[in-house]
Amino acid sequence: MGTASRPRTTGIRQFIDPERQRDWIEGKIDFPDADERQQSMELRFKYAARFEKLLRRPQAAEVLGILGIYGANCIPVPRRTERTYWSVSCLPSTSDKPLVRVNASWMELFTLYAEGEDVRARFIVHLSDFTTDRSATPDRVDEAFLEQSVAAPEDVGHFLAHGADTFVINVRGAASIRQFLANPRALRAIRTFNLTHMNGGRNAYQASHCYSVADYMVGE
């Protein structure tokens, strides 16, 4: 008689079990991170010129400051999971012309763009975390919560992405982005979506990882 094979454990479930992941989402625990980072010096040098170009942008200080908040609060054990399970691209060559983009698995998580001399952000999350009844029903988006989670109601917008439970939130202005990241409900939603994709398997964008930008996300 044959024995059933065990399902293969993927993503960061290999070293953080689902219960502790749920506790992290709720802010009940934090995880000790790696003391040292595994780095590719080839990649660090490859994107050094792009990083220097970013530093010349008027938005550079806000971008790096916001990424520091995002890395510390929205990605579990960022040093241990760097590049393998998440990455950040600097001035990626895509048609929407972002300043930086954070990815995990095959999914975009978070992107910052220039908005004049300020910035705007795109968060990708689960729709069900932003509806009044926790369903993935588009006409039940909690508009009141979204407007209250930023500095001014006009700073937030949203639309449905591909996928039944995928939702895009646009936040305009550094002050509103910081306020959104500090909102407990929004933070739980961001953490939930990020873990969904960090558990999906290894990051597909490892080759575009910019260590110079990631320095700010991991606290160096």
pLDDT per residue over 107-154, tens digit each? Answer: 999 999 999 999 999 999 999 999 999 998 889 999 999 999 999 999
Is there a domain that residue 123 lies in?
Answer: yes
Q: Which residues, including other chains, have CB under 8 Å from residue 207's CB and lie 6 or more apart?
A: 43
Give residue 58's domain range. Answer: 16-25+39-217
Number of domains in the chain: 1
In a domain, 213, yes or no: yes
Strand partners, 122: 111, 170
In this structure, is residue 93 part of a structural domain? yes
Q: What are the backbone dihedrals phi and psi of residue 198, each rounded to the nearest 5 degrees, phi first?
A: -70, -25
Give the strands of the sheet with 100-104, arranged side by side: 87-90, 100-104, 107-115, 118-126, 166-172, 156-160
Residue 82 domain-assigned (yes or no): yes
Residue type at 70 in one-letter notation: Y
Nearest partner of 175 among 126, 118, 104, judged by Cα? 118
On whether the CB atoms of residues 12 and 78 are closer than 8 A, the answer is: no
What are the residue ranges of helices labelled H in 109-164? 143-148
Sorted by sequence, the CB contacts under 8 Å of residue 20 that are 6+ apart come out as 29, 31
Range list of β-strands (E), the chain: 87-90, 100-104, 107-115, 118-126, 156-160, 166-172
Residue 144 within any structural domain of the chain? yes
Task: Answer yes or no: is 155 within a domain.
Answer: yes
Are the beta carbons of 155 and 172 closer than 8 angstroms?
yes
pLDDT string in tens for the chain (220-residue length): 445 555 677 899 988 999 999 999 999 999 888 888 888 999 999 999 999 999 999 999 999 999 999 999 999 999 999 999 999 999 999 999 999 999 999 999 999 999 999 999 999 999 999 999 999 888 999 999 999 999 999 999 999 887 778 999 999 999 999 999 999 999 999 999 999 999 999 999 999 999 999 999 998 8
Sign of CA pseudo-dihedral 133, 134, 137, 139: positive
Is 5 contained in some domain? no
Q: How far apart are CA 167 and CA 213, in angstroms?
A: 26
Taking a C-beta distance cutoff of 8 angstroms, is the pair 177, 171 a contact?
yes
d(C-alpha 177, C-alpha 100), whole Å: 15
Question: Is residue 6 in a domain?
Answer: no
The two tokens of residue 14 are 């290999």
Task: Give the pLDDT score at 38.
Answer: 87
Strand runs labelled E in 127-165: 156-160
Q: Helices (H), strands (E): how many in the chain?
A: 9, 6
